[in-house]
Structure 1
Amino acid sequence: MTFMSAINRILRPASKRSGIEAGGGGRRWQGTPMLGTPQQAALGARGPAKARAAALYLNTAYGNRIVEAWTSAMIGRGYQARSQHPAPGIRRRLNDDFEAMANPILTPLARALVRDGEAFLQVVTEDDGGLRLKLIPADQVDPALTRELGGGARIVAGIEYDAADRVVAFHVLREAPGAPFSTFGETVRVPAADMIHTFDLLFPGQVRGLSWLSPVLLKLRDRDEASDALLMQLKTASLITGFVRDPEGGAAGFDDGASGAQVNVSLEPGAMRILPPGADVTFSQPGQGLAQAVEFLRAQDREIAAGVGLTFEALTGDLGEANYSSARVGLLEFRRRAEMMQKNLIEAQVLRPLWRRWIDTQALAGTIRADGADLADYRHVRFVGPGWAWVDPRNEIEAEIAAIGAGLKSREEVVAGRGRDIDDLDEELARDASRAGEGATA
């Protein structure tokens, strides 16, 4: 068999591939993980992933940075409620009261959402008709409680569904696991109307959330250990060790000092030492390969950043290789994803249900007198998320002004993008104009 015929024989199977490789077999696919039932796999991995993410959040710099970066991106300085009630005085009162109630809980809620993969907010009605928000640890909604209730109803990981797959209740342990005097196994059934459950749905039919750190948990652990190993290597490199060798296998003229023949070979600045005949000195070099190791760690940092949806600069704080264009492109991509999470998780799953429950509770308590169309006016609301800082304020402001002038954006949209309420801004501008007019008159 000639050399070329052998090569053609090896390549022939590759040239005749058919079908979809992703569903094929062969040695290249051996050991590849598969998720036949991702809903069950996510539910089974939830507990270990949550516990590992909590440990890495508290014990590693990057684990903490991932959680805090996503929390600040989604929540920032808080959300502004913009009631659409026709009466200005009522709008202002509703906005202020709701923001005072909701904004303090949003930061720990978002932190739990990223770190644990889900957040539970219990809405408690006080005797005076007011609402109290209570953040529930994820494991307090009993993940071990799963059983059939009959007629198509069931409880899955502490969440109760009816026959139509609607969430009707949550089964909550009286005390959080690990709390003093906690009693495990005894749960309280909390109606779904009194609980807000938010998580990022990865697969249809998923019941509980999965930590956002899950794609990088193992790599984060390995990266932290590698960093510690390099630190120990640097410490070792600062300890220069010398080895004196005698080709004849003797002591190279050194002894215990009893005969006075001991030679001083200690290292001192500017010192010159004479060794006995035949002695040879070599030194250890423990610091070799550090430069390559540092570059490898930077590559690992990029993988970790990609796995959690952050830019390399946002994860590491290293801006040495960033310029205006690259920083802007990276930030725009990150902002699109963050705005998606703001809209679909914080606003849709938390703020809007909470506003509706708050308005209905006030109507039942008589705090607001509304029914029918009037109640619809109270329920109508918009939310303004936190704004974004500019990379280049001058160029971006000029671009926004041009977009408003061309009719591509409204002034309200631009103001909302900065995290401001246009009504508040207009009032401030009116006050400034009034003060300027009074100063000119004086």
Structure 2
Amino acid sequence: MNWLDNIITFFSPEWGARREAWRQYGENIRNYDAAGYGNGSANWHVTNQSAEMTDRYSRDTVRARTRDLERNSDMLNSVIGAYKRNVFGSGFSIRAKTGDEKMDEILMQAWKKWCKKQNCDVTGAQSFNQIMRMCVQRKKVDGGVLILKRYTNQGFIPFQIQIIEVDELDMAQIKPKSVGNKVVGGIEYNKWNRPQGYWFRQYDIDGSLQLESAYVDAKDVIFYFTKKRPTQIREISDLSSTVTRIRDVNEFMTAVSVKERIAACLSVFITKTSPPTNMGREAVSGKGNKASYDGKTIAPGMIRELSPGDSVEVVNPNGQSTDAATYIKLMQHMIGAGQGISYEATSRDMSETNYSSARQGMIEDDLTYDEERELLIEVMDEIYETFVISCALAGIIEKEDFWENKEKYFCHIWTAAPKRWIDPAKEASANKIALNTGQKTYQQIAAENGRDWKEQIDETIEVLEYAGSKGLDMGGVIFGNDYRNQQKQSVQGNDRR
């Protein structure tokens, strides 16, 4: 209360109480319950800050804890594995779309060659697919990863990529390279908060001495991370909202494991009657014809005589494996929901699903994975465009109009690896109906199966022609009885003519 209310309350407690009651009523009707500081929210103190101010002081700690769980938690690795399998999986195939079939074939063959580890990786350790899988994992755990374009003479074209962890950004760098820019978190920005360059820490060969930081232009760096707020300029772990819950599960499982191990061990205590039955000096000294149990263990089938008055009490603690299973299942549901994927995707437990529910779960999960694929494809697009420019510099592309029409030569399509069918008969029937009713095109169905539709038609024609040369009709085998009947009717019509 303010000073006026204090005076009123002093002279008239009734009117002071009424004023306070009406004031509290006014607060309740014009505020949100979520903003109240009642019993449930008394210690919930928060502030509104920019994304960078919120993330800056927690970023390194969250990343370190998430990496620790990555090394030691099977539950966290089930989430990471689900994302790796579904976002990148077996990889993407590419088809160049320059409009020149000969040039398309040259580019696709060059890309296939460049994707080998000795050509695409500056370290020569990973192929392009392996690098992309690692980037998906590092983005999920660390929040982001940096892909540097390196122009070397180690491959068949002067272009390779280098993967740098976000730890290598020099947080101590404050002086920008260009006047008017600012350096925040090791990244140099212009007045529009657009990255102009990146400052990386440098070490000597054994890593013990830090050298002067190296500056790399932004055009040669791809920062692969998810931006969730307009003021966010750096990464934060995608798993930040679930790491505490995963750690709770690990601690719970450790406690349950210890308890179950104890429960699996048969232990006994010897209880003695007091006072002892011996008389005289033996009773005082504790000596007599008494059995000693020090160091003794229980063996199967053993028979042992106890001292008079001694009895055995068996220690048999109750386990809680049933409660643990229920608790862990609930936590897996919550962890999966926090990451936008289903319980079945992380636990691989399909005991509570049927075909329809499994399909619905896959559809919802795919919507989550599509967001990650969209970001990953943007990264691969930029890598491919730099690859095409390097092919032109290396003389692989011999076109006079390349530098005037670069966008034409950049055109391409990524095709994801196909997903396995849950029920092939139902999936094939659905595709046939969708094709016959015009709901899907042949190109769409081929793309869903991870195939290029032109290559698929060429292969089908090759099979039919080869089978025909051997006197075998494969049309009915491939296209079914309808095709065979149609061919017979066509032959009969020609004979009548």
TM-score, with normalisation over the residues of structure 1? 0.85
CA distance in 2: counterparts of 1:273 and 1:212, whole angstroms:
62
* Map of 2:151 onto structure 1: 125
2:448 aligns with one of 412, 417, 436 = 417
Give 1:430 deviation, angstroms: 2.2
* Map of 1:4 onto structure 2: none
Larger RCO (CA within 8 A; separation ≥ 6)? 1
* Map of 1:363 onto structure 2: 392
CA distance in 1: counterparts of 2:292 and 2:472, whole angstroms:
95
1:188 aligns with one of 214, 230, 255 = 214
Give 1:121 deviation, angstroms: 0.8
Give 1:71 deviation, angstroms: 1.5
* Map of 2:226 onto structure 1: 200
TM-score, with normalisation over the residues of structure 2? 0.76
Give 1:90 deviation, angstroms: 1.5
CA distance in 1: counterparts of 2:223 and 2:404, whole angstroms:
29
* Map of 1:62 onto structure 2: 75
* Map of 2:325 onto structure 1: 294
CA distance in 1: counterparts of 2:253 and 2:166, whole angstroms:
31
* Map of 1:172 onto structure 2: 200
CA distance in 1: counterparts of 2:278 and 2:447, whole angstroms:
81
2:255 aligns with one of 225, 229, 237 = 229
**Identical amino acids, percent of aligned pairs:** 23
- Which structure: larger Rg? 2
CA distance in 2: counterparts of 1:268 and 1:257, whole angstroms:
28
1:158 aligns with one of 186, 191, 201 = 186
CA distance in 1: counterparts of 2:252 and 2:444, whole angstroms:
47
Taking a change above 3 Å as real, the CA distance of residues 377 and 249 of structure 1, as seen in their structure-2 partners, is farther
- For the residue of structure 2 that corresponds to 1:387, the secondary structure is coil
CA distance in 2: counterparts of 1:252 and 1:20, whole angstroms:
78
Taking a change above 3 Å as real, the CA distance of residues 324 and 271 of structure 1, as seen in their structure-2 partners, is farther
CA distance in 2: counterparts of 1:302 and 1:14, whole angstroms:
41
1:377 aligns with one of 408, 411, 416 = 408
Question: 1:258-294: per-residue Cα shift (whole Å, max 9, x none)?
Answer: 8555399975556677766654432222233332233
**Amino acid of the residue matched to residue 29 of structure 1?**
S
Question: 1:327-375: per-residue Cα shift (whole Å, max 9, x none)?
Answer: 22222211111012101x1012x11112222223333454322336643
* Map of 1:23 onto structure 2: 35
Taking a change above 3 Å as real, the CA distance of residues 414 and 42 of structure 1, as seen in their structure-2 partners, is farther
**Amino acid of the residue matched to residue 385 of structure 1?**
A
1:219 aligns with one of 240, 245, 255 = 245
- For the residue of structure 2 that corresponds to 1:215, the secondary structure is coil
The equivalences for 1:265-284 within 5 A come to 278-284=309-315
Give 1:384 deviation, angstroms: 1.6
CA distance in 1: counterparts of 2:203 and 2:420, whole angstroms:
41
**Amino acid of the residue matched to residue 154 of structure 1?**
K
For structure 1, the residue ranges without an aligned partner over 5 or more in a row are 1-8
Give 1:76 deviation, angstroms: 0.8
* Map of 1:92 onto structure 2: 105
**Amino acid of the residue matched to residue 347 of structure 1?**
I
Give 1:118 deviation, angstroms: 0.4
**Amino acid of the residue matched to residue 460 of structure 2?**
L
Taking a change above 3 Å as real, the CA distance of residues 14 and 268 of structure 1, as seen in their structure-2 partners, is farther
**Preserved CA contact (<8 Å) 1:50 1:211:** yes
Give 1:218 deviation, angstroms: 2.0
CA distance in 1: counterparts of 2:387 and 2:101, whole angstroms:
19
Q: After alignment, is 49-58 or 193-202 more displaced? A: 49-58
Give 1:154 deviation, angstroms: 1.1
Q: After alignment, is 63-72 or 73-82 more displaced? A: 63-72
CA distance in 2: counterparts of 1:339 and 1:268, whole angstroms:
61
Give 1:122 deviation, angstroms: 0.7
- For the residue of structure 2 that corresponds to 1:415, the secondary structure is helix
CA distance in 1: counterparts of 2:244 and 2:211, whole angstroms:
32
Taking a change above 3 Å as real, the CA distance of residues 274 and 63 of structure 1, as seen in their structure-2 partners, is same
Taking a change above 3 Å as real, the CA distance of residues 180 and 220 of structure 1, as seen in their structure-2 partners, is farther
**Amino acid of the residue matched to residue 305 of structure 1?**
G
- For the residue of structure 2 that corresponds to 1:214, the secondary structure is coil
**Amino acid of the residue matched to residue 376 of structure 2?**
I
* Map of 1:239 onto structure 2: 265
* Map of 1:322 onto structure 2: 353
**Preserved CA contact (<8 Å) 1:236 1:286:** yes
CA distance in 1: counterparts of 2:136 and 2:443, whole angstroms:
27
- For the residue of structure 2 that corresponds to 1:409, the secondary structure is coil
Taking a change above 3 Å as real, the CA distance of residues 291 and 84 of structure 1, as seen in their structure-2 partners, is same
**Preserved CA contact (<8 Å) 2:290 2:307:** no
CA distance in 1: counterparts of 2:174 and 2:27, whole angstroms:
51
**Preserved CA contact (<8 Å) 1:114 1:212:** yes
Q: After alignment, is 154-163 or 124-133 more displaced? A: 124-133
